[in-house]
Structure 1
């Protein structure tokens, strides 16, 4: 039996969360090693595991993969969540690059001072609706299919659901003007592997808190 993928990261969302989502959606069990001390991070550096001195790090198939995008692309291809041809693959790359930009905007909010965070949260929510949700609403309307690409469940659908739920944590009414995205959210959330990942007790991480932020800053000397 193949060993489970092993994920090295903090006990929180950050750049690893989309990787957790993708593995969970594929029905793949994985192990996690949480970085809690500066010494753990330095040991990974000394052992030569962090190619560009950055986490996340994923051990899989005898490889030690770094760089979020490379990890996600590998997993999507391995677990048949990519496109069937170059055109579909390009569309999935385009959609996931867009949603990843929004995910990172949200992730950085939690590292802002409290007095700055509230104002910037409003800006991020408005950008999510005007720049991202409006685009995906149009895509779904134009092709009239259940999924974003090729009428087949893919990495693009997984990551869009992830960011929808992140934005709704900031603003419960964020989808109020996007009926097709509301239906998309319900549809994708009911895929068995996704539904399981959304249940309490899964390896999905909660919103970042002060402890998570402090741990990241301590380990990376931010």
Structure 2
């Protein structure tokens, strides 16, 4: 029996959360080796398992994979979440790159200086409302299908769904002007593997609050 993937990261969302989502929706059980201190991170570096001296790092199929996009690409391809041909994969990549740009803003917001955080939050909300969500609404309207690419659940749907959830943490009514995205969220929420990961007690991480952000800055930055 193959070993479970092992995820090396701190106990928070960061760039690992999308990887957790991908494994969870693929129905793959995984373990987490939490990095709790500078010493933990230093040991990984000294052991030579971090190719570029960075986390996330995922042990999977005999590999110690780093670089978030590479990890996500591998998981998506392995578990049939990456389209049926090159054209579909191109669209999936395009949509995923957009959601990763958006998610990076969510990830970094808690670490912004207190005196600029509200301004940064307002700018993020503006980008969600006028740049990102309108475009995805247009994509769904354009083909009239349940999923973003090929009318089949893919990595692109996972990452958009994650973005929607984080946006709703900022404003629970953010989808009020996007009926197709609202319906999309409902469909994805009802997929068994997604529903399971949304339940209390799953390995899904909570938002990074100010206290946690301060501790992580002190420990890792």
- TM normalised by structure 2 equals 0.98
- Whether the 8 Å contact between 1:36 and 1:215 is mirrored in structure 2 is no
| Shift of residue 95, structure 1, vs aligned partner | 0.4
Alignment of 1:72-87 (within 5 A): 72-87=72-87
- Whether the 8 Å contact between 1:37 and 1:218 is mirrored in structure 2 is no
- Whether the 8 Å contact between 1:125 and 1:174 is mirrored in structure 2 is no
Per the alignment, residue 209 of structure 1 pairs with: 209
Per the alignment, residue 64 of structure 2 pairs with: 64
Per the alignment, residue 38 of structure 1 pairs with: 38
Could you tell me which runs of 5 or more consecutive residues in structure 1 were left unpaired when the two chains were aligned.
none
CA separation in 2, counterparts of 1:144 and 1:210?
41
Matched, 1:189 2:202: no
| Shift of residue 85, structure 1, vs aligned partner | 0.2
Corresponding residue SS for 2:165: helix
CA RMSD, Structure 1 to Structure 2 (Å):
0.9
CA deviation map 1:163-192 (0-9, x unaligned): 001011011121110000000000001100
- Whether the 8 Å contact between 2:111 and 2:214 is mirrored in structure 1 is no
Corresponding residue SS for 1:110: helix
Corresponding residue SS for 2:7: strand
CA deviation map 1:119-152 (0-9, x unaligned): 2111101101111100000000000000000000
- TM normalised by structure 1 equals 0.97
| Shift of residue 54, structure 1, vs aligned partner | 0.8
Per the alignment, residue 103 of structure 1 pairs with: 103
| Shift of residue 211, structure 1, vs aligned partner | 3.9
CA separation in 1, counterparts of 2:216 and 2:79?
30
* Alignment: residue pair count: 221
CA deviation map 1:80-103 (0-9, x unaligned): 100100000010011001000000
Alignment of 1:1-20 (within 5 A): 1-20=1-20
CA separation in 1, counterparts of 2:32 and 2:71?
15
